[in-house]
Amino acid sequence: MTAHIYPKADATSQWFHTAYQGDTMAHPNVIVLHTTEGSSFPSYGGGGSAPTFTIKGGTVRQHFYANESARALVNAAGGVQTNTLNAIQIELVGTCDKGGPGLYWPDADDADLAALAELVKWLTDTYPIPVVSTSKPWLSYPSSYGSARGQRMSFAEWENFNGICGHQHVPENDHGDPGNFPIKRLIELVKGAKPSTGGSTAPSEPAAWDGKSFPGASAFVLGKSHPAVTVLGQRLVAHGYGRFYSVGPGPTFGQAEKDATQAFQKAQGWSGADADGYPGSSTWSRLMAAPATAAKTYLSLSTGVKPGAKHAQVKKLQTFLVKAGYGPIKGSVTDFYGAETQAAVARFHKKNPALSSKAYDPAIGSKGFVELQKEAE
């Protein structure tokens, strides 16, 4: 029996089959590639516009069974079927628009293509999908948008197509993703071509990276090395997330970096795809900023702390008075606000006349209690 869950997929984080069960496709024979035009896993409206798979770095999320129709294509009334026509859809986190968010897929190298090539290899081994590209051109964006430049299939071409195409090729759709995608190299890798990187994890600094600006999502792939990963780790430590490291930051993006980044993202108030542990440009920008200095908090004065009374907080009052130089207080530390404590508070007010209008004031007030703590630091 054919297994319709990719063995290397995360099929739990965004599994939409329950909410949007699609049609069973008896013989998937088409792969459609998309780009998300973002740097994080999209929410897809809870699944309403989700593809079959989404890839970010080395992570593959599966949203529906591979032989089940997905929902990322427009399917206009009165034309042809799109989502349900045996099409497996793969969204690639990143952009087809040069200068857009995340990885620019037309410039993807072998390391960037590795997870996609593995998935396509599994799909083409599992289903009757030939490892061939559409004969239509893979136009660069924005020329790829619309249908005026010969890249969009006719209804008949779509219904008879078997192989790999892009969103820009599907009829009834106008999107131009994934642009001038390196389809030839992808097919070579699927067919077993040796990766040009040789699988090395040795760090090598791309000439285009200036050592400071966001290097792109492709720098942060589990198991992949990049000098920006060291910088990422150093900034995470500076922001107080060093607890995730058993050894100091290094150039290889691993689970420690992912967990520390996710904790930082959640501390920004982000959630879901915005807190997935993979740095985007917003995460990078906030990490590069100086760590926020936590506001000093002080004890609030209890209403039960007053001359002649007993209260547990009187011990704190006496301690602060002595540390700030208003002692000695005979018999302290105790919970009794007696004559010695009152005299020390009066000495405090004498030094801080703005906190009391009386010549002799033995009763500490709420503002005076905070000021006393500051002086006792």
Q: What DSSP string runs through 342-358? A: HHHHHHHHHH-GGG-SS
Domains in the chain: boundaries: 17-191, 217-288, 309-376
Residue 59 and residue 94 in contact, taking contact as beta carbons nearer than 8 Å = no
The answer on pLDDT for 203 being more than 60 is no
Q: What is the DSSP string of 132-170?
A: -B-SS--PPTTTTSSSTTS-SPPHHHHHT--EEEEGGGS
Radius of gyration for the chain, computed over Cα atoms and rounded to the nearest angstrom: 31
Give pLDDT, residue 205.
Answer: 42
Right CATH number for 217-288 from 3.40.190.10, 3.40.190.170, 1.10.101.10, 1.10.3720.10? 1.10.101.10
Confidence of residue 132 (pLDDT cuts 50, 70, 90): very high
Give pLDDT, residue 3.
Answer: 62
DSSP strand pairing (30-35 vs 163-166): parallel
Residue 171 and residue 136 in contact, taking contact as beta carbons nearer than 8 Å = no
Q: Which CA distances in Å does 158 have to 18, 49, 187, 272? A: 29, 21, 20, 35
Q: For residues 233 and 124, give the distance between their C-alpha atoms in angstroms, rounded to a whole number.
A: 38
pLDDT (tens digit per residue) in 331-367: 889 999 999 999 999 999 999 888 988 889 999 999 9
Q: For residues 43 and 91, give the distance between their C-alpha atoms in angstroms, rounded to a whole number.
A: 12
The answer on pLDDT for 207 being more than 70 is no
Estimate the share of the chain in helix, then strand, then coil, as percent rounded to the nearest 5: 30, 10, 60
Q: Within 10 Å of residue 148's Cβ, how many Cβ atoms?
A: 8
Q: For residues 79 and 362, give the distance between their C-alpha atoms in angstroms, rounded to a whole number.
A: 88
pLDDT (tens digit per residue) in 1-11: 356 999 999 99
Which CATH number describes the domain made up of 17-191? Answer: 3.40.80.10
Give pLDDT, residue 365.
Answer: 93
- Do domains 17-191 and 217-288 share one topology? The answer is no
Q: Residue count of the chain, please give it.
A: 377
Closest CA to 241 of 296, 271, 286, 272: 286
What is the crossing angle of helices 366-376 and 339-351, to 10°? 80
Closest CA to 54 of 98, 6, 21: 6
pLDDT (tens digit per residue) in 243-280: 888 877 889 989 999 999 999 999 888 888 778 898 88
Sign of CA dihedral 230, 234, 240, 243: positive
How many Å is the maximal CA-CA distance in the chain? 98
What the block records as the tokens of 277 is: 């542990």
Sign of CA dihedral 152, 71, 65, 34: positive
Q: For residues 373 and 55, give the distance between their C-alpha atoms in angstroms, rounded to a whole number.
A: 53
Q: Which CA distances in Å does 347 have to 114, 118, 292, 306, 361? A: 73, 77, 37, 16, 9
Confidence of residue 96 (pLDDT cuts 50, 70, 90): very high
One-letter identity of residue 335? D
* Sheet arrangement for strand 87-92: 59-62, 53-56, 87-92, 30-35, 163-166
Mapped onto helix, strand or coil, the DSSP state of residue 288 is: helix
Residue 90 and residue 34 in contact, taking contact as beta carbons nearer than 8 Å = yes
